[in-house]
Amino acid sequence: MKNIVFLGAPGAGKGTQSEFIIKKYGIIQISTGDMLRAAVKAGSPLGKVAKEYMDNGKLVTDEIIIGLMKERLAQPDCKNGFILDGFPRTLAQAKSLDIMLQEDMKTEITHIISLEVPDEYIVERITGRRTSPVTGKIYHVKYNPPAVEGMAEDGKTPLIQRDDDKEETVKKRLEVFHEQADALKSYYKSTGKLFIVDGTKAPDTVFAEIEEILK
């Protein structure tokens, strides 16, 4: 059983590595960012509240996120293992997660993978990031371009850029990440299940390291 948590700055490669893990191990990915973006797109009450925080690069409140995750983890597809991408982001979320897993699911986190990328790399990585609306696959205009420039796999649907992937918002998101990162890492260090991975390398190289960890 693999219940994986990804830690790492925005743009560290959590989403990309999650895609590889899903393919190889057949477990599901839960991305709170993707869930919130879906809520914003649907115009739901949650989406309306979340949008305000997201557009400013701030964290949505712990209360909202924890409620959202509690509901998500109760779904049957989580029973065979999962990757958490973008959650937990605060110490309060990490503690709630442990309790939810223990009490509601009689399970626990098996691996915490911290993908480490220095800030200097992040802005270029994120501002060049594009997503395929067809498959959800993540591209980069320079480092991982699609087959047809600017287009999704069908060659005709334009790739999209996340609203919060603009430079000013990225800087704020990085600042917010650093406010929480040390506390989260030290919380998980004591579990003996924290693995640090150099996220500056090519995606395949990073994945090879992750495969070793998940063996």
Output the known binding site for ATP.
11-16, 129, 138-139, 201
Residues that bind ligand AMP (CB under 6 A): 10, 32-33, 36, 53-54, 57-60, 65, 86-87, 89, 93, 164, 173
Task: Tell me the CA end-to-end span of the chain in Å, nearest whole number.
Answer: 11
**Of residues 47 and 146, the one with the C-beta less far from ligand AMP:** 47
Which one of the listed residues 51, 125, 130, 173 is annotated catalytic?
173
CB of 215 to ligand AMP, least distance (A): 27
CA 206/CA 55 separation, integer angstroms: 30
CB atoms within 10 A of CB 45: 8
β-bridge partners, 213: none
CB of 41 to ligand AMP, least distance (A): 13
72 a catalytic residue: no
129 a catalytic residue: yes
Binding-site members are 11-16, 32, 37, 58-60, 86-89, 93, 129, 138-139, 162, 173, 201
CB atoms within 10 A of CB 104: 11
Which one of the listed residues 14, 51, 125, 130 is annotated catalytic?
14
CB of 107 to ligand AMP, least distance (A): 19
The residues annotated with a catalytic role in the active site are 14, 89, 129, 162, 173
